[in-house]
Amino acid sequence: MLTGLRYLSLRYWLRHRGAFCLAALGVALGIAVFVAIQIANASVMGAFSASLDAVTGKSNLQVRGGSNGLPDELFAKLKNRNDPRIKAMAPFTARTLYSPTLKTSILVAGVDLFSEIDFRAFDLESQAGEGRGGKQKSDDSAFRFLLDPHAIALSQSIASKGNLKVGSKLQLLIGPTRQSFAVVAILGDSASARAFGGDFALLDIASAQEAFGEVGSINQIDMVADEADLPSLLRDLKRLVPPDATVSRPAQRSDQVAS
């Protein structure tokens, strides 16, 4: 009986071995695609997490705006409260923009350099000039960055890829408009300048708001607070921010992205 069944099974397999092989190949390909997708997702999330940490800097608390961002007045209001639980505070805004000059998209962040000292290591001056007169060139670059609405600082990666230097022009596509910016500094090789694969540029926050068409609005407010004060500070801030804003620790935001 069993011998007969084995014989019939063998005959069936021999007649349909092509179908069996295709089915086995399909299963193998499906498994391979699934594994490849999981590896790619893990790689992307790892890179994004590293970029997030680099841009977040030393902040251990963030207020992030909803679809309309946060009003400038909120930052001023929180700053003027002089809450002893908040050790440092900085506004931050950013957009990913396409650059016709580079033929790729880059992250363009608007920062307040005076507030950034306690957060991110944006080494604006170190690459501004070398040799004789280098210090003077650095000072000039810092002043231009703060005062010229079309001044931009580039990461070393972007400068190298685009063969750009101080004095070069960089075009950015913002909505339907192509805007031109003058490179006034090349960022030092800090963790912040390496964020997002190094494709990173800086504007003064007021210049960024004007360029983005978001005058009076920012993306987020970064804070440094004592760990022991975070629970009470979180509760109080949630009562002060707009309804669509979120108050959370950067690590929580990373977990939300990963999930």
For residue 18, pLDDT over 60 is answered with yes
In terms of domains, do 122 and 70 share one?
Answer: yes
Pair 204, 110 in one domain: yes
Same domain, yes or no, for 31 and 131?
Answer: no
Q: Are residues 143 and 209 in the same domain?
A: yes
Q: What is the DSSP letter of 242?
A: -
For residues 140 and 134, the answer to whether their CB atoms sit within 8 Å is: no
118 in the same domain as 22: no
Question: Are residues 85 and 43 part of one domain?
Answer: no
Residues 228, 47 contacting (CB under 8 angstroms): no
Please answer whether residues 192 and 120 qualify as being in contact, where contact means their C-beta atoms are separated by less than 8 angstroms: yes
Do residues 117 and 146 both lie within one domain? yes
Question: What pLDDT is recorded for position 58?
Answer: 72
Q: Is 48 exposed, middle or buried (0-12, 13-18, 19+ CB in 10 A)?
A: middle
Residue 17 domain boundaries: 2-49
Going 232 to 119 to 93 to 73, the CA torsion angle's sign is: positive
Highest mean pLDDT (candidates 10-14, 21-25, 189-193)? 21-25
65 close to 217: Cβ distance less than 8 angstroms: yes
In the prediction, which pLDDT does 157 show? 86
Global pTM reads 0.69
Over residues 114-139, mean pLDDT = 59
Amino acid letter, residue 180: S
Measure CA 200 to chain center: 8
The percent of residues in the chain predicted with pLDDT above 90, rounded, is 44
Mark whether 93 and 181 lie in a shared domain.
yes
Specify whether 105 is located in the same domain as 199.
yes
Give the pLDDT of residue 73.
92
222 and 123 co-located in one domain: yes
Number of domains in the chain: 2
**In terms of domains, do 81 and 186 share one?**
yes
In 3D, which of 87, 106, 110 has the Cα closest to residue 96?
106
Q: Are 254 and 50 in contact (CB under 8 A)?
A: no
Q: How far apart are CA 218 and CA 232, in angstroms?
A: 24
Is the same domain home to 246 and 198? yes
For residue 30, pLDDT over 80 is answered with no
Distance from C-alpha of 141 to C-alpha of 183, rounded to nearest angstrom: 9
